Structures are given as structure tokens and as C-alpha cells.
Chain A
Amino acid sequence: MEYWLIGNKAALLFYVIAATYFLSGTSTSWEILAYLLYLILNIAIPLFKPRNAKIVLVLLSSAFLVLCAVRLSPEFLLLLPVHLFELVELAPGAAGRSLLALAIVPLPFLPKGAIPVYILATALSSLVYLGMRTQLDRLERMDHTREKLRSELERLSRTLGENEEYIRQSEYTIKLEERNRLSQRIHDEIGHSMAGALIQMEASRTLLHVDRDKSAELLGNAISISKEGLERIRLALKDIKPKSEELGIHRLRLYADELSAKHNNSFTTTVTHEGELDAITPLQWKIIQENTTEAVTNAMKYSQATVIGIEIQVLNRFVKSVVSDNGIGTDKVIKGLGIVGMEERAAAIGGTVVVDGTRGFRVTTLLPREAAR
């Protein structure tokens, strides 16, 4: 807005200079002094930050204009309305707007010939000012709504992220519960039938020399109970045992192999690991898996790499997973949504993600180990 007012003033000032200096022919150096002083005053207005200082300067400048109008030439009054707008800009609310009416005050003091020009200049300036003001107000309102929408969106996506995390956590809990249930089942059913079989066999041994038939019958019972138990163990184990490809490092290997195959072996993928992989919790595996997938996808898309290395290392207090490629990399890493996503996942359990682009891309995920926390 300030710039528009300055532009308005400049345009009017040009007119005033033209009218009083070049066209009138009766110009003196006083006029030049007046123009320059006016320039100084008005350059000073945007320089000062405090509102009161601005108001004082605007008033000073207005007073100066009136003085010039009285002493030199009434044309100087043409510049007055813009100052009024400036005041309106500085004074808040409707009280400020009512100041606009003051624009008609100089009318009676003007010589007849100058009145139409004054009205023209004031009307045009007012139009420019009011038009700009309305548009700016609208823009402000729109900005405001946009900001509100943005924060709303942020809030929603945060809740979404939290929900996802919750789902992830509960998945883990469900798995734990499932294992618990299975071991309970083994204990309850198989344990009991084995105990039953054992008792029958003990009894059979005691009766072996006394009553052979009874003993054989008991032994038969024990055998069938054991058979049944064995079948149950088999069934239960089948339930409990997860498929090997679902387990962390195997799953990564599988992923890497599939990837190479899918892209006709245009690049090589290696998976290496070091340290006690058992120390990695399922939740950590999940994060590693997701971040690796993300990083590898990025590498394939942008890096022009021929080798992608996936490395898992269990340190004393951290679990480190690194995806590196031999591609073009970049000197300055600009964070995209992918990297932000990886960071958020890692941050959920107190970890960090470092992206380095100096020698190919290298995405390191560092997760603190459970015991160390």
C-alpha cells in the first residue's frame, strides 16, 4: 500500500513541478527548495518505523504543503489529499476513514481556476486509494482464511500421523497378544495331554507284571493321547511360526532381489548386516523397512545409480541402517516430502535421519536401541 501512495505522490509531484516550475515561467529557486524539502520529508516517512513518527512526519509535510500553497503557488495543495490517505492508513478503523472527508476543506481557499484540477486530482487519487484498499483488505481476508485452512490441514495430517503410529503400535501389541495366546494354548492343551499320557504310562508300568492286558490298554491310551498331542503341537507350531520372508533382514533381501529383477538387473542391490540383529525390535524393523523402501525409490528415481547398498548395523546404543548409492548425489540436499516422512517415522521412536549427497546419496537412519533408552 505504501508503494502505491508513494507512486501517487510522485505522479502528483511531477504535475505540480511541471505546473509551477516549467509552465508558469515565474519560477524562483524557492520553488526548487520547496520540491527538495518536500522530497526529503516524504522519503523520511517510509524510513521511520514507529507509527507516531510517521504521523508526525505526515502532518509536518501537510503543514509544509499549506505553507508552500500560501507563499508560492496554490498548486501545492494538490498533494494534500494523498497525505490524508496516508493518515487514514495509519489511523485504525472507521475513525480514520472519516478523515477522508477533510479532502474538501481546501476547496474554498483555492483560486477559481485551480478548483477543477484539485477536484480531478483528489477524485482520481481517492479512486486509486479506495480501490487498492478494498483489494488489499480482500487479500488480507483471503490470506487469513488460507492460513486458517493451512493450520487445519496441518492439524489433520498430524492426527493422521498419530493415528498411523497408534495403529502400528497396536499391531505390535496384537502380535504380542497372539504369541501369548499361542504359548498359553501349548501349555493348556499339549501340556495337559502330555501329562495325561505320562500318568497312563506310569500306571501301565506299575501294572506290567500284575495285569498285562490292563497295562497294554493303558499304554494304548497313552499312545493315542501322545499322538493327538503331537498332532496338536504340529498344528500349534504351524500357527506360531511366521514365514521366514516376513522376518526383518530376509524381508529386506527379498525386497532387494525383487527390485533388481523388476528392473532387468539395470542396477545391483546389496544387503549387508553387522552385529546382533536379534536386538532389533519389530517396530524398529518396520521403520527400517519403510525408510529403506523410500530411500531406494528415491535413488532409483533421481540418482542414475548402478549400485544401491543397504546396510544394517547394530551398534552398542544405536541401530543404524544406511541406504547408499553411487549416483550423482547433490551438494545441497533439499528436503522433499519423502525425507520429511522418513524423519517423522524415525522421530516417533527418538531417532534421526541424515541425508548426505556429497558422494552419491546416502540416507542414514539412526534409531536408539531399546535397552539404551
Chain B
Amino acid sequence: MIILHIARKELLRSLRDTRTFMFMLAFPIVLMLILGTALTNAFTTSLTFDDLKLAYKLEDPESQASGYWNEFAKSIEQNGVLVTPLSADEDGKKAVKNGEYAAFAEIKNDGIEFYGSNKLTVESDILQGMVSAFANRYSLAAAGAKQDPASLETLLSEAGSGTYVKETSLQGDTVPDSMDYYAMAMSTMIAFYACMSASQLIRGEKVRNTALRLAAAPISKAELFAGKVIACTLINFLCVIVVVAVSRFAFGANWGDHYGPILIVLFTEVLLAVSLGLGASYLFSGEGGSSAVMTFTQIASFTGGAYFPVNDMTGFWAILAKISPLWWANDALTKIIYSDEVQALWPAVLFNVIFAALFLSLSILFMRRKEAL
């Protein structure tokens, strides 16, 4: 009960502290808008590439599969793919290796063998997506035909039609554009900014002299602590949700389809930030806590990809980036949003929770040693 009482006060106080609250909301949204629009080109140009070149070989040109493959080939040619049939004596794999084609597909009666180029990875990935979609469609249709031979025609004609190409990963909006990227990066950044308000949780009471009253009241330090951590986490999580919502509905950023896991990642990140801020305020005396947290937040934001994508980094910078808690979160979110890999949330959540527990226990240890608050 006391914990809730304290949490309620803390919530009320934070919500009424309009200046800080507005900063926490306006800062990421404005930054998102600026970076998102200013750097549009930087994100799209890096994705342009020449024609997609796909070579293929039909094992049995007379088979049903081959027929529909031709249908498929025609439809993807309309989407700008250069489809080249190879004669039986040409070596498709070698041609791909030499960089003549982005990929080579061998259509056999029992399946399709696909060789992607390891140089033109983006192109080959796209082609692979298309081909595997075709294969899925085709095998579905074939299975369906066994059940109901009459429907085979319609199924296969659907399989061959160009509509499914749209469902592969060719369409531009499934790769992050600048706004999508900064919507995500700003959300994780603002989630981590929670550590700044957390570093003021105890310090602020001291500055306000209310620490004296709290210490004189018949409550345990643990209750006070719990109330404050809960409130601080909630209020900052609320900020994050607002930022996410604004980016989604006002700027139309892509957040994928898995809001649950995304919010879980962000929530645990807030929790980590709060614990970190609290721990720092105990580790450093006076205002040292906030400035240490401030510095760390800025460095972590920078290396963690809040201002520019860091996935292309190599060597030292890559390691530096991976130390940043923001990187774990961004990495997990990228996978969840663009690759539908919901499992990617676990490493981030696990790291966040474990470090949060670590810093919280550290704070508790320090707190118990102190005479007053």
C-alpha cells in the first residue's frame, strides 16, 4: 500500500513537471522529424541496384512445373528481373560465381535448387525470396491438386500470376527508410533517457529537502525505493509509447505487425535505464551521478545507433556499438519489424532484465550502507 502511495505521488509529480515531460516527448519527435526527412536520400540511394539477373535451367522442359515456371518468369520480368534460360551444358553455378548473374535456379521435378551469389547478396536475397515464394505456392497448388484435381488449373494459374511477387520482399516499404529507422532509434533512445530522470529520484528528494521527511516517516527504504522505481519506469514507458504512437500515426513509420514484443523490448529497456540511473546516483556522490549518467547516455546513444545506423560498422566500432544497450534494443526491434523474427526479442530482454537486476541490487547494497537516504 505504501509503495503504491509513493508511486502515485511520483507519477503525479512527474506528470505535472511539464517542462521535463515535454522535453522527453518533444525532443525525440522533433529529432525524428528532422533526421527522418533530412536523411531520406542517404537511406534510399544505398538501396538502388542494377537489374536483377536470374539464370535458370529446366531439367525437364515438358513437365508441369516447367510450364508454370515460365509463367512465373514472365511475371517477374515485368518487375524488372532479367530472367535468362541456360542451355544444358552451361554451368550456372560458375556463372553466378563469376558475377554474371545474381542467382541461378535449377528446376527439377522434385524441387528447385537455388544458388545465390555471395557478392551480390542483396540481389540474391531478393531473388531467393521470390523463388521460394513461388516454390511454396507451387507445392501448395500441387498438394491441392492431389485432393481435388479439378481445382488444379485455378490454383496453378494463381501460382503463376504476378500478384504474389508483391508478397516477396521486393517492395520498398519492407526495408527501413529513414523515417522508419529514426522512429525506432528515437524510441529506444528516449527509453534509455529514463536513466536521467532515475538518477534524480533520490538526489531530487535531497535537493528538495523532502528526503528528510521521507527518512523520518515510518516507511522502510525498500518501500520508498520500490515505489519510486515503479513510478519512474511507468512514466518513462508512457513517454516511449507516446513517441511510438506519434511516429506510427503522424509520421507513418513502419513498426511491423508485432507490437507486443516491441513493447516488451522497450519496457525492459526502460527498466534497465531506470536501474542504471539509480545505481549511478548511488555510485557517484552529489551531482556526479547525473553528469556520469548524462555522459553515458550520450555516448550510448551515439554508438548505439540513435543518430545513424551502425550495423555496417566493423572492427573496433562494431564492438563499441555492441556495448551500447541501445544497440541490443535496435537490433532486436529491426529483426522483429523487418524479418518477423519475434524470437529476436529474447536476447535483448534477457540482457536488459539481467543488467537491471544487477544495478538494482547494487543500489540496494549502497542504500543499505547509507545512514540517511
Question: When chains A and B are docked, how far (Å) is the Cα of A40 from the Cα of B354?
Answer: 8
Report the Cα distance A259→B211, complex, angstroms.
54
Minimum distance in angstroms from A50 CB to a CB of chain B? 14
**Contact in complex: B365, A47 (CB < 8 Å):** yes
Cross-chain pair count, CB within 8 angstroms: 12
Interface of B is mostly: helix
A22-52 toward B: CB 8 Å interface, digit per residue (1/0)? 0000000100010010001001100100000
Q: A17 CB to closest chain B CB, in angstroms? A: 15
Q: Which residue from chain B places its CB closest to the CB of A36 in the assembled complex?
A: B354
Specify which chain B residues have a CB less than 8 angstroms from the CB of A33 in the assembled complex.
350
Q: Are B364 and A47 in contact (CB under 8 A)?
A: yes
Q: Is B358 an interface residue (CB 8 A)?
A: yes
When the two chains form the complex, which single residue of B347, B350, B354, B361 contacts A47, counting CB atoms closer than 8 Å?
B361
Query: Interface residue count for A (Cβ, 8 Å)?
Result: 7
Cα distance, A203 to B354, chains bound together (Å): 121
Q: Is B126 interfacial (CB 8 A cutoff)?
A: no
Complex CA–CA separation, A18 to B99 (angstroms): 42
Residues of A within 8 A of B364 (CB): 47
Query: Which residue of chain A lies nearest to B351 when distances are taken between CB atoms in the complex?
Result: A36
Contact A44 B361 (CB under 8 A): yes
Closest to A49 in B: B368
Which B residues touch A29, using CB under 8 A? 347
Cβ < 8 Å to B, chain A residues 44-77: 44, 47
**How many angstroms from the CA of A36 to the CA of B350 in the assembled complex?**
10
**Within the assembled complex, what's the spacing in Å between the Cα atoms of A47 and B361?**
7
Nearest Cβ distance between residue B143 and chain A, in whole angstroms?
Answer: 35
Complex contacts, A43 vs chain B, CB 8 Å:
358, 361
Interface string of B334-370 (1 = CB under 8 A from A): 0000000000000100100010011001001100000
Among residues of A, the one whose C-beta sits closest to the C-beta of B347 is A29
Residues from chain A with Cβ under 8 Å of B365 in the complex: 47
Q: What B residues does A47 contact at CB under 8 A?
A: 361, 364-365
Q: Considering the chains assembled together, what is the distance between the CA atoms of A43 and B354 in angstroms?
A: 12
Scan residues 220-271 of chain A and give those whose CB is less than 8 A from a CB of chain B: none
In this complex, what residue of A is CB-closest to B364?
A: A47
Closest Cβ of chain A: how far from B352's Cβ, in Å?
12
Chain A residues closer than 8 Å to B361, beta-carbon distance: 43-44, 47
Chain A residues, CB < 8 A from B347: 29
Alpha-carbon gap, A118 to B197, bound state (A)? 48
A47 CA / B364 CA spacing, docked (Å): 8
Please name all residues of chain A whose beta carbon is closer than 8 Å to the beta carbon of B358 when the two chains form the complex: 43
For residue B104, give the distance in angstroms from its CB to the closest CB of chain A: 34
In the docked arrangement, what's the CA distance between A40 and B362, Å? Answer: 12
The 3 A-B pairs at the shortest CB distance, nearest first, are namely A36-B354, A47-B361, A43-B361
Interface residues of A (CB under 8 A from B): 29, 33, 36, 40, 43-44, 47
Q: Name 7 extra pairs, CB < 8 A, besides A40-B357, A43-B361.
A: A29-B347, A33-B350, A40-B354, A43-B358, A47-B361, A47-B364, A47-B365
Q: Could you give 11 example pairs across A and B, Cβ below 8 Å?
A: A29-B347, A33-B350, A36-B350, A40-B354, A40-B357, A43-B358, A43-B361, A44-B361, A47-B361, A47-B364, A47-B365
